[in-house]
């Protein structure tokens, strides 16, 4: 079963996200802070995190995750949408950014996409060399 680490300081939002994740057959792992989330990332296949949280915000959590695991897909969710924030998040390695409010399908599609990326085998050195040669 795929595990989705959900990070939000709002207990009600966290419970709602957990129900959505469970309804798709994924196992939710709940964290109410970035620090708490870091102790659970080894169990996660995907992380869905709010941006605006006290202490460690979602972008700081993303950077901390990248220091430990550069392949774990992270989906950043924010109600403080700006093009600059989205660019920062994508540059820091976010799989996707979602602006609140978002449609249920947007979230589940983002998780499905992230799980596909997580399962994809890493390209081998010969495959990378062939691709680079074609792109010239």
> CATH number, domain at 56?
3.40.50.2300
What is the number of domains present in the chain?
A: 1
Chain mean position to CA 39: 15
In terms of DSSP H, where are the helices of 93-124? 104-119
Residues of the domain holding 23: 3-135
User: In Å, how far from its chain's centre is CA 113?
Assistant: 10
Cα gap 92→60, rounded to integer Å:
9
Q: Enter the pTM of the model.
A: 0.85
pLDDT for the residue 122: 55
What confidence tens digit (pLDDT) does each residue in 40-82 have?
999 999 999 999 999 999 999 999 999 999 899 999 998 876 7
Pick 134 or 4 by higher pLDDT. Answer: 4
């Amino acid at each position: 079963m795929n595990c989705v680490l959900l990070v939000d300081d709002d207990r009600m939002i966290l419970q709602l996200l957990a129900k959505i994740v469970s309804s798709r057959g994924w196992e939710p792992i709940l964290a109410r802070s970035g620090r708490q989330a870091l102790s659970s990332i080894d169990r996660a296949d995907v992380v869905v995190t709010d941006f605006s949280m006290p202490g460690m915000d979602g972008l700081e959590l993303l950077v901390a995750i990248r220091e430990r695991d550069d392949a774990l897909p992270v989906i950043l969710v924010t109600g403080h949408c700006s093009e600059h924030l989205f660019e920062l998040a994508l540059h820091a390695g976010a799989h996707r950014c979602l602006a609140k409010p978002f449609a249920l399908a947007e979230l589940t599609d983002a998780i499905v996409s992230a799980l596909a990326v997580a399962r994809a085998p890493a390209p081998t050195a010969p495959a990378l060399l062939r691709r680079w040669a074609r792109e010239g």
